[in-house]
Amino acid sequence: MILKKVLKAKITKVKITDTVLYYQGSIGIDKEILEKVGLQGNDAVQVLNYNNGERFETYIIEEEKGSKKIILYGPAVHKGKVGDEVCILAYAFTTEGEKIEPRII
């Protein structure tokens, strides 16, 4: 069986609202946003920073629903600062011929 990695979800042009250095490392995202794209806590994501070109992979921590928070935790804080616009991507593996329609907001 051949698997391929495809885009599952994309959260585009959201701004970092806070950073917390002394934490294990991850990205906090408002649960309301996560529900719209079908993601949840502990899912792996790639984060792309429009302001400085940084890219990194981490996992999601669910922030309070409706909080509008996008928080960089741990070493990831060195990849962006409050006010930076980021794009958050999640991928899935599919079998040959299987099609996933990405959820984009």
Domain enclosing residue 50, as ranges: 3-104
90 neighbors 11 (Cβ within 8 angstroms): no
Candidates 23, 50, 59, 91; catalytic one: 59
Measured in whole angstroms, the distance separating CA 22 from the mean position of its chain's CA atoms is 20
Mean pLDDT across 88-98: 94
What was the pLDDT predicted at 41?
Answer: 97
Number of domains within the chain: 1
Candidates 26, 50, 73, 91; catalytic one: 26
Render pLDDT for 36-72 as a digit per residue (tens, 0 to 9): 999 999 999 999 999 999 999 999 999 999 999 999 9
Look up the CATH number of the domain holding residue 16: 2.40.40.20
Residue 67 is among the residues annotated as catalytic for this protein: no
Q: What is the side-by-side order of every strand in the sheet holding 70-73?
A: 18-20, 70-73, 26-30, 55-63, 44-49, 85-95, 3-15, 103-104
C-alpha span between 10 and 62 (Å, rounded) = 16
